[in-house]
Amino acid sequence: MSESGTNYLVAMEAAWLVRDVGEVDDAIGVAVSEAGKRLNEAGKEYVDIEVGATGCPACGEPFDSAFIAANTAIVGLLCELRVFNADGESHAERIAKSEVGGALRNVPLSVIEVAELADDDDGDRGDDGN
């Protein structure tokens, strides 16, 4: 752990709306692509985006978080990023929400996990968060 703070991995779920779509796979592709484009344009290439998973209410097995009704889909995206030198979990959470929320305006976000990174986990980051 560094003297100025602790490093965390923060995972958030984003609810992405896709209109005029008929297939779940198409909705997922559009949602991941659009979210990635907005994050990249905002200089946030270090945020990992993928489709989230939802547990089946009957069997508990995970499936892609996407639902289509009336040619409109809601896709649950998983956004992960590393936050460096935070003063605690709540501080890391606020930083992550600010970073992602600034690029994904008007997209509902909720933090689903904050995990402290071991000292050896922060050496291979690909971002500019020194």
Q: What is the pLDDT of residues 43-101, one digit of tens each?
A: 999 999 999 998 888 888 888 999 999 999 999 999 999 999 999 999 999 999 999 99
Positive or negative: CA dihedral 106, 112, 114, 120: negative
Q: What local confidence, expressed as pLDDT, does residue 85 receive?
A: 93
Instruction: For residue 28, give the nearest of 75, 72, 70 by alpha carbon.
Output: 75
Cα–Cα distances (Å) from 45 to 19, 39, 81, in that order, read 25, 6, 10
Q: What local confidence, expressed as pLDDT, does residue 121 receive?
A: 57
Cα–Cα distances (Å) from 19 to 6, 38, 98, in that order, read 40, 17, 26
For residue 51, give every residue at least 6 positions away whose Cβ sits within 8 Å of its Cβ, in sequence order, or none: 28, 31, 32, 64, 65, 66, 75, 76, 77, 78
Q: What local confidence, expressed as pLDDT, does residue 10 receive?
A: 97
Average pLDDT rounded to a whole number, residues 2-17? 88
